[in-house]
Amino acid sequence: MPKCGVLKKYTNFMNGYQDRYFEIRNGRIAYFYSKADRANCRGQFSMKNVLVEAHMDNSRDLILRFPGDIVWYLQAEDAVARDQWLKALTKEHVDSDYSSASTTTHTHSRNPSISSATELRLPLEKNLPFGCFDHVQLPGNYELHAEVEEITMQQLRYAMEGVDNSTWTLFAEDGQMKMFKREVEMDGLPVDPLKALHHVKGVSALEYMHYFFDPRYKKNWDHTLEAVSVLDNPSPDTALLHQRHKTIWPAASRESLFWTHIRRVDAMKSPDAADLYIVCNKDVIREDVPLGTSSSVRVKLTVSMVCETLIAGNKPAADCTRADVSCRILYVSCVHPGGWVPTAALRTVYKKEYPKFLRTFTEFVLSNVKDKPLAM
């Protein structure tokens, strides 16, 4: 029975199934891009409460369902190999300290058809942040593809440049969190670039970025928002969002319209990091999305968050628990208010609100991952 080996894993709608290297040990299953890439775990879960499904109509297919609505769609080389993997999963579970009632194996039928790829796509879109980022999923013919590619990589390089003390001024510090600014005005309006450095224990970069990217959570941690709408979702890693912000007198009511994109870019990670993810947000102009009211103004923005997972003691990623990992965060922001604001008041407000935002967001993430399996 295999304890390790190659299975095909469904990655996304465009790339379908791709070979990935899997390991089963110590009551956990983990996968990697390849055997040679074992230092960089792409995903790992405890086998406690895992539901294993084997299709009756397709002798190669395996589906693993984990707590938290995480689903892996797998294919073995043939029926014999699939049965061997089933036995290995079951044996590893029985040999572990978990109750034998916690893992269940089911079989069910599915009529193979051209719609199968669509059926697989839906749960993967839902669970993308804990899925595969080996390839950018935004279609090459999408109208904003070139801009998303250029701005995202530009922002990544900018964030990784660090902070030059002769250019940046420290304006807030709280434990591991440091925030820097440069005072810049454009057309008489403050557009101060900001950079934040932070380090959070017990969470991976993938998890931290999941909650920053996914629109479903935004109002839970960004208390300046009144409403968030998804106007377009061309791929699981890219969306077009419209946000309405709470009005702060005497400034006009404000809205933001921007694309948001998430990707994994391990080629740019630091030498001590296990992975690197970026979420990039950039304003867009759309004739078909008018302002909500005649008195509203639309904010222009370029905002990015870059996260790297750090693993203590060079421990293999597949063996890590929350006690072994931490997340290094770089946050960069440049916002044009879009209309008149009192400059001195704005600078006073952001000196208080930006640290509050990062603290609030971090608390939200930690409260959501504390009882869940580590996802890397």
pLDDT tens for the chain, 376 residues long, are: 568 899 998 875 446 688 999 998 888 888 988 998 888 888 888 887 788 877 666 788 888 887 766 778 889 998 899 888 888 887 654 454 443 334 444 433 332 222 233 333 333 333 434 445 556 788 888 899 999 999 999 999 999 887 777 788 898 898 999 999 888 877 777 778 899 999 999 999 999 999 999 998 999 998 888 889 999 988 888 999 999 888 664 556 788 999 999 999 988 889 899 999 999 999 999 888 887 777 788 888 999 999 999 999 888 887 889 999 999 999 999 887 766 566 666 677 667 778 888 999 999 999 999 888 888 8
Q: What are phi and psi of 55, to 5 degrees?
A: -70, 135
Contact by Cβ (8 Å): 204, 306: no
CB 365 within 8 A of CB 322: no
- Could you tell me if residue 314 is left (phi over 0), alpha (psi between -120 and 50 degrees) or otherwise beta? left
Query: Three-state SS for 321?
Result: coil
Which H or E run includes 360? helix 343-369
User: Structural domains in the chain?
Assistant: 4-130 (2.30.29.30), 145-369 (3.30.530.20)
| pLDDT given for residue 125 in this prediction | 36
What token pair was written down for 309?
A: 């997972």
Enter the DSSP assignment of 367.
H
Q: What are the CA-CA distances from residue 124 to residues 39, 235, 277, 339 (Å)?
A: 25, 11, 18, 40
Please calculate the CA angle 16-17-22 and round it to the nearest 5 degrees: 150
Residue 5's region, left for phi above 0, alpha for psi from -120 to 50, else beta, is left
SS3 label, residue 117: helix
Q: Of 371, 372, 358, 303, which is closest to residue 334 (Cα–Cα)?
A: 303
Give the global pTM. Answer: 0.67
